[in-house]
Amino acid sequence: MYPPSASTSHPVAGSAAGVLDPAAADSKDAILFQRCTWCGTAMYHRLLCPVCQGSELRTERSEGVGTVRHSTVVHRNTPAARNVSLIEMAEGFVVRGRVMGPPIGIHSGDRVRLSTAKDPVRGEPVFQLLDEPYRAWS
């Protein structure tokens, strides 16, 4: 359950400290996530693995493609309505972000691609729809 060298302290390449540092990103238009070296679970901005509680996490770059799992329309603290969505990325982790487009037109199951890694106002990832959904009567 513990790494073989648990009694010694040494920095791990791709540790969680590098992900939480904004200067660690090579590009502004990329999402960096962690993958546990013990069980392989992908996660976003965590210090410990939620499955095995391991602390050895390596940093990986996401392809930026995902699926909307949940979307809601928020009307507070903004002059206009905006959406807040949970996006399940192809690598297996879930991230909260905003999908560009009319808030009422974003539904669960829509495929999205990363547009920018940080919204300048809210600091969350911004996505755009990959396929224009065909919803004749919805």
pLDDT tens track, the chain, 138 positions: 444 444 333 444 444 444 444 444 444 567 899 999 999 999 998 999 999 999 999 999 999 999 999 998 888 777 777 888 999 999 999 999 989 888 788 889 999 999 886 776 777 899 998 876 555 445
Taking a C-beta distance cutoff of 8 angstroms, is the pair 78, 93 a contact? no
Question: The pTM is what?
Answer: 0.69
DSSP three-state, residue 9: coil
Enumerate the β-bridge partners of residue 100: none
- Alpha carbons 124 and 114: distance in angstroms, whole number: 11
Distances from the Cα of 113 to the Cαs of 40, 52, 106, 135, in angstroms?
A: 23, 30, 13, 20
Taking a C-beta distance cutoff of 8 angstroms, is the pair 49, 3 a contact? no
